[in-house]
Amino acid sequence: MFYFDPKYFLFVGPAMLLVLWAQLRVKTAYAAAQQLPAPLSGAAAARHILDSAGLSDVTIEEVPGELTDHYDPREKVLRLSTPVYNSRTLAAVGIAAHESGHALQDAKGYAPLAIRNAAVPIANFGSGAGLWMIILGAMLLHSHVLVMAGIALFAGTVFFQIVNLPVEFDASNRAKVQLVQLGIIDAEGLVHVRSVLNAAAWTYVAGTLQSVMVLLYYLSRFGGNSRD
């Protein structure tokens, strides 16, 4: 079966190790910053940032889970996980500020964010359907056309992840600026917030690299006329 091909691990193995390292790093940085107090809760910090930018129409909601924080540009809602919403820690205000950064991007018409949002349906569909089309085409139907269509769909997911990188980096940069300018954290607190956000950024980089290498593997394995 092609998914047991040793060549796959030659392509993807190093990226998988980077993903594991990035996940460990973000857990370590987040746990450390959770122990450090902040003057505001995550929700209060986000509200301060949004109001200061004239975005009082953006609402903030508490959602269950851990690290489930996100900004919904369609509903203009900032959703913060319970630990981030309620905690007065540097980890909480850092993550809340990062998600607020996406709201600022949306308000400013940040082009990469608009491209990313437009690519979401393709990415969601391609990540699952693309893989199954490759499997069916290669193993059951022996259809090179179906395999290449699946690869094209998966490429849409990779495109989304690549476009998402500048969006996430920019949101973190906006977060750090806002936290300092509004006096929510001081220079020492910024060091710890930067550690959390940089660690989170590495998870995006690692995940994107893994997807790129998977795509390259598919192209290497099925990109010719072989129907193996």
Pair 147, 219: CB distance under 8 Å: no
How many CA within 13 A on the CB side of residue 90?
23
Pair 151, 78: CB distance under 8 Å: no
**Cα R_g (the chain), whole angstroms:** 20
Listed residue (205, 210, 192, 199) closest to 9, CA to CA: 210
Q: If you count DSSP H runs as helices and E runs as strands, how many of each does the chain have, helices first?
A: 7, 3
Helix (H, G, I), strand (E, B) or coil at 143: coil
70-72 vs 77-81, strand pairing mode = antiparallel
- Partnered with residue 70 across adjacent β-strands are 79
The question of whether 168 is a catalytic residue gets the answer no
Q: Amino acid identity, residue 179?
A: L
Point out the catalytic residue in the list 66, 99, 168, 188.
Answer: 99
Q: Amino acid identity, residue 227?
A: R
| Positions marked catalytic | 99
